[in-house]
Structures are given as structure tokens and as C-alpha cells.
Structure 1
Amino acid sequence: MDDIDRKICGLLQVSGRASSAEVADAVGLSVSSANERVRRLVAQGVITGWQAVLDREAVGAVLCAMVLLDMDYEGEAEACAALVAHPAVMELHHVSGAHSYLMKVRLPDTAALQRFLQDVVKPLPAIRRTETMISLEALKETTAVPVAGAGGGA
């Protein structure tokens, strides 16, 4: 990837519906050259998909919680597979430190969170312990990945 590819990636992360002309203008290329670069980035697997970002209130996913999970090795893979398959699970990270995993979930309210923990998480044989933190306010939440060399990337 060169600097132009990085600029295209940065732009499309922020504005995925940018027209070909807008992309071309932003990076100083012709529309056909910009389109070819986007097609190549998709073919190379750099751009892995296109998605809409939804208003969480409008779709009933207002509550955001982080759940620290302690798991036994026995059954860990099965537990992870079950959690990853659940639509309320936004992220599942294997972490270092005192806990095994960090899971981010989005649900309608605390009652739904309690049901999720009781009916989905705690019955998994590998789960030893959970610790849940509810987000009071999201100061930043993004799906954008830092793109090295594209203004602000690492």
C-alpha cells in the first residue's frame, strides 16, 4: 500500500458512501484510477466489507456493557464459539492479566443484560466467573482502524 491507498482507506472508513468522484478528488486521481485502486484494495482483502452504522437507540441496543470472563481451559473453545455467535456480543478479546477474556455486549437494558448473563454466559461449562461493567457514556466508539501514514495513524 502506498500513501494514496492509505488515504483512500482512511476516507472510506469515515465516509463509506463517498462517490467515486469524491474519492478521486480527495486523493488527486482520475475517477477511473481511484476506482481501480478501490477494486484492488477489495481484491487484496484490505477492504473487507461495507456496512451501515446504525443508531443504537433506534434499534434497541442502548445498554453497553463490558464483561470480564474467567474461563477454564476445558471447554474454552466451545464457550468462545457460542459467545461469538450471539448477536449481542459486539467484541470478544482474549486478554492478558487476571482475566481470560473481555467481551463487549449491547442490549436494550439491564434486565436484558441479566438474562443474557444468566441464560447464555453462565451456563457455559468453561465459565468460572464474570465481572460486568456498564458504560455510563461512550466518549468515543468507532470501527475505524488507524491507517499508518494517513493522518493520525501509527
Structure 2
Amino acid sequence: MMDAIDQQIAEILQTNGRVSSAEVAQAVGVSVSTANDRIRRLHTVGIVTEWRGVLDPARVGAGVCIFVLIDMKYEGEEQACAALRSCPEVQELHHISGPHSYLMKLRVRDMPALQAFLKNTVKPLPAVIGTETLISLDTLKETSAVRISV
């Protein structure tokens, strides 16, 4: 369970994962050793799941953002999802309600790369029975930060 101090620390960390323990301690009003212990505990219990840098997709050759609605049959679904999760182009894969089975977010360099990914990776999967592709024209907000409400 997170108390108010843990919530403040988690909010700080998701805004700036490179912040020092001293800065965290000062911001939440605890000692540096207490801040270190709490940060370590947040990671150990799985509240903080990753420490990573966030890259600008356009600067690293992945400037096109695509959402693909995927229809799958049950037979082979688990293997298809495992295959898609292993692809570096796939940023998100969600099992969804409604007329489609999954929503996949991916980033690629350009339209030929998208076409190749769909043709060579997605459509050959035996469980895949259909796709609908939506191309993002502009990304107005993109974040992995979550609202903390515990």
C-alpha cells in the first residue's frame, strides 16, 4: 500500500527518473536514506517497473505511429500474441472489447515499413483473420505517466 509520501515519490519518479535521492528527499520532506529506502521498495514491490530513457521516435527512425485493430480466432491466439509482443515495432498490444480482438500500437520509419510489417509479420499469423489500420496524422499527447489514485 502506498502512503502519501510514496505517492509523491512515485509522481516525481515518473516525471523524472533521473532525479537524485537528495532531490526526492527534499521535495517530500524526508531524509535521503528514507527516500532511498522508499524508492527501492517502490521498485521491489513492482510499482516502479522500469528505469529507461524516452526517445524521440522521429529522431530514431520510427516517426510513423500506427494503430492496428486485429481480429483473431481463438485457435493460435496465444502464439500470435507472443509473436507480436516480441516485435520491437510493437509498442502496445491490448486485448479489447467490441468487434475487434486486439488493438496494437506500433511505430515504423515509413509506409513501406508499415506495409512490410503487416505483410510479413501480422497477416501470416494463423490466428489473424483480419486487420484495420489507422495511421496517426499527429501525436498531440503521448505519455506512459499514470494518474496516481490509491
> Partner of 2:48: helix, strand, or coil?
coil
What are the Cα deviations for residues 31-52 of structure 1, in whole angstroms up to 9, with x where unaligned?
1111111111112221122000
> Partner of 1:57: helix, strand, or coil?
helix
- Counterpart of 1:147? 148
- Counterpart of 2:81? 80
What are the Cα deviations for residues 55-88 of structure 1, in whole angstroms up to 9, with x where unaligned?
1112101000000000111111111110010110
Shift of 1:23: 0.5
> Partner of 1:29: helix, strand, or coil?
coil
Structure 1 runs (4+) deviating above 6 angstroms are none
- Counterpart of 2:95? 94
- Counterpart of 1:152? none
- TM-score normalised to structure 2 length: 0.96
Shift of 1:14: 0.5
Structure 1 residue 23 and structure 2 residue 24: aligned? Answer: yes
Percent of aligned positions that are identical: 60
Give the root-mean-square deviation of aligned CA atoms: 0.9
Distance 2:43 2:92 in 1: 23
Matches within 5 A, 1:39-118: 39-118=40-119
Distance 1:42 1:75 in 2: 34
Distance 2:59 2:16 in 1: 21
Shift of 1:115: 0.4
Give unmatched runs, 5+ long, in structure 1. 150-154
Shift of 1:147: 1.1
Number of residue equivalences: 149
Shift of 1:89: 0.4
Matches within 5 A, 1:115-134: 115-134=116-135
- Counterpart of 1:136? 137
Give unmatched runs, 5+ long, in structure 2. none
What are the Cα deviations for residues 69-111 of structure 1, in whole angstroms up to 9, with x where unaligned?
0011111111111001011000000000010000000000111
